[in-house]
Amino acid sequence: MNHPIPAVLLVAAALAWTADARADDDEVLSNHVTVDAPYDGYTLGVGAILGDPTALGLKTRFDENNALQLHVGWGFADPYGARATFILDYLAHITIFAAETRDVGLLTPYIGLGGKLGLREGDDPVAIGARVPLGLGFLFREVPIEVFLEVAPGVLVFPAVAALVDGGVGARVYF
């Protein structure tokens, strides 16, 4: 039996390894305002999200606007029962340079598109769905840390169609 989980992890690792997240210059241009990007040189974030699911996560930033995130954890509010949960999302960040936060860090709302796989023993052992993560992240300027809040409405498509909502708060350290 083929398992999709190792393939998803392999693809995420390959993308993280090959991503060229450092721009040719050390500046970010957004809304015609140029400032130093706090994450320059940091492409891989490792952290956790507390909520549903509660998970460990990886995030690789390709540039200031594009990223891929992976969550591996435990979901408990699934309509088909609690299960091991695997999430892979593409994220598009909207870079905002507010005068109040410019010296402290970078406020980054984001929207994305992704998939969710849930596995458990017993009835309905597999659940598959699509989700649209909506979040607000803050990258600190002085330390390579991001804190974030995320909600991801979506739809489970297997074993039957059902609404889903994931969400939580989390943090990542960038390397």
46-58: per-residue pLDDT in tens?
Answer: 999 999 999 999 9
Q: How many domains does the structure of the chain reveal? A: 1
What pLDDT does 124 receive?
Answer: 83
Instruction: For the chain, give the mean pLDDT.
Output: 80
Q: What is the pLDDT of residue 19?
A: 39
- CB distance 175 to 47 below 8 Å: no
Give pTM, 2 decimals.
0.75
Q: Are 60 and 21 in contact (CB under 8 A)?
A: yes
Residue with structure tokens 């690789």? 60
Residues 6+ apart with CB under 8 A from 100: none
Q: What are the tens digits of pLDDT across the range 128-174?
A: 999 999 999 998 888 999 999 999 999 999 999 999 999 999 999 99
- Residue 28 pLDDT exceeds 50: no
**Structural domain harbouring 25:** 4-174
Contacts of 171 (CB under 8 A, 6+ apart): 47, 48, 145, 146, 147, 148
What is the predicted pLDDT for the residue at 39?
57
Tell me the CATH number at 106.
2.40.160.20
